[in-house]
Homo-oligomer: A and B are copies of this chain.
């Protein structure tokens, strides 16, 4: 019963990696990719707005412009679709930390990192919110990822920070808390944007808010952890 020739299920898991531009691809593959992309985009929007439980596959399908049965053909279950969305988000989330290397200058590296994080927050607030909801719920889907891949990356980057400290380039701080608070400060402008807007009497944040946030956070962090030759 499982060995049938049908091919539903995990389809778009592949769309998560960088394997874009395959060979010309027949019409079939083209349509498949277009549909998967449409569904993933719709799912991101709906999951961000209503949360996993609040979202319905009917909403997502409608937003993607496809029948609900079609969505289930591509992704199987709501949960599988949610996982596919999360995978894309995790890749996005982790990208900025890459240019955080031994050689880099603390002031520059931190400023760049904060700038990238704020940019992520500004351009992909929905992604940020889905990630946040997942964490608040206890990370049922990504706990494994957090305690392995992410943990490893953090440890690696922590070593960079400790080197900076040893070299007297910054004051003595616990690297993990530095990372955690940078994530928190930047992401708050996506996740809790309504609150920040509301207390300013605005309906939504604008580019100026993000620019000011970036400046404020950068200045406070650089000065706060004693980066030499900053602020």
Nearest-neighbour CB distance to chain B for A19, whole angstroms, equals: 28
Contact of A185 among B54, B185, B216, B222 (CB under 8 A): B185
Cβ–Cβ contact A51 & B132, under 8 A? no
Q: CB distance B198 to A143 under 8 Å?
A: yes
Decide if A188 touches B192 in the complex (CB within 8 Å): no
Decide: B195 and A139 in contact? CB cutoff 8 A. Answer: yes
Is residue A37 within 8 Å, beta carbon to beta carbon, of the partner chain? no
Task: Check: A228 CB closer than 8 A to any chain B CB.
Answer: no
Chain A residues within 8 Å of chain B by Cβ, number: 55
Residues on B with beta carbons closer than 8 Å to the beta carbon of A129: 136
Q: Does A35 contact B (CB under 8 A)?
A: no
Q: Are B54 and A216 in contact (CB under 8 A)?
A: no
- The answer to whether B188 and A176 have CB atoms under 8 Å apart is no
The reply to whether A173 and B216 contact each other, CB–CB distance below 8 Å, is yes
Instruction: Determine the distance from Cα of A212 to Cα of B54 in the docked complex, in whole angstroms.
Output: 36
Is there an interface contact between A146 and B194, defined as CB atoms closer than 8 Å?
yes
A114-154: contact bitstring with B at CB < 8 Å (1 yes, 0 no)?
00000000000000010011011111000100110011001
Determine the chain B residues whose CB is within 8 A of the CB of A49 once the complex forms: 137-138
Interface residues of A (CB under 8 A from B): 49-54, 129, 132-133, 135-139, 143, 146-147, 150-151, 154-155, 173-174, 176-178, 180-181, 183-185, 187-189, 191-192, 194-196, 198-201, 212-213, 216-217, 219-226
The 3 closest A-B pairs by CB, nearest first: A224-B224, A220-B224, A184-B188
Known: A223-B224, A224-B224. 6 other contacts (CB 8 A): A132-B192, A151-B200, A180-B196, A180-B213, A185-B185, A223-B225
